[in-house]
Chain A
């Protein structure tokens, strides 16, 4: 945690804002706005993939529905619940930081990292199933019952690109939370100064938000019908 971004702490223990800010509140607001502006760029980053998905699904609706049915809806639903639970623990970690509860911050950060890891574990399980079923795009791709393989392959290309990019964000998120553990344990975050925890929280919830849209688009599009 470099000085200048986070607040300094005087020997008396009272937090003071970094020199470019008039007050702690102003610094806090600037940190939140900066984080949100970054998240907006992330919306557009994922937005390109979402747009590609909409265009290709519009062109090959029936093939996309058939390919979507090959995904495991049970694991997908469970994973959604796991990620939502991790957002709850993240919100509680931010709350603990706002109240200056050191042990609460550490505990809830660990809980969030744990749930995030469970999500990634389930994702890995799904990936290995798909690899075994020859659904990974490439020369070995096989898809029974379709005259033309390419639309199904396109669906799985988008599936791996979108969930892979999302998983990468999860890994980064777990790393960020891990980096906050030590300062949190040392009591670095107080009721007056905890912008790092709030920023990490915003990032984590955003990653949850992306999944909330990925889940129905990838797993649920072709559920009805056979």
Chain B
């Protein structure tokens, strides 16, 4: 497999996109969107993270095995957060003797 080299132009475009997204996320945080504030903030962070991984870390063009490693990492992270929250969010639901 030949070495995939990311062009300078792409690097600079990704950089500019990341800076613009940073500005947007800071600006939007001053607007009260209720619970949507969290969704917007994490959505923009996710988008920025995807740009970094796809272009700067070259997941887009690199060996196909690498996205599998990333997906495995995300899966385990979701298990960590999901299972923990399923405990904390439901503790008040049932009256447990001795609680």
Contact = CB atoms under 8 A, between A and B. Distances in A.
A122 interface: no
Contact of A32 (B8, B63, B88): B63
A36 B70 contact: yes
A209 B18 CA distance: 11
Contacts of B33: 224
Interface string A193-226: 0000000011001101100110111001101110
Contacts of A92: 8, 11
Given A80-B22, A224-B31, A40 B70 contact: yes
Given A50-B81, A88-B11, A216 B45 contact: yes
Interface in A46-104: 47-48, 50-51, 54-55, 58-59, 73, 77, 80-81, 84-85, 87-88, 90-92, 95, 98-99
A36 B70 CA distance: 7
A197 B79 CA distance: 32
Given A191-B3, A216-B44, A88 B15 contact: yes
A205 B56 contact: yes
Nearest to A55: B88
26 contacts: A29-B1, A29-B65, A32-B62, A33-B63, A33-B66, A33-B69, A43-B74, A43-B77, A47-B77, A47-B80, A47-B81, A48-B80, A54-B85, A81-B22, A87-B15, A91-B11, A91-B14, A95-B11, A201-B56, A212-B49, A213-B42, A215-B22, A215-B45, A216-B29, A223-B30, A224-B37
B55 to A, nearest CB: 8
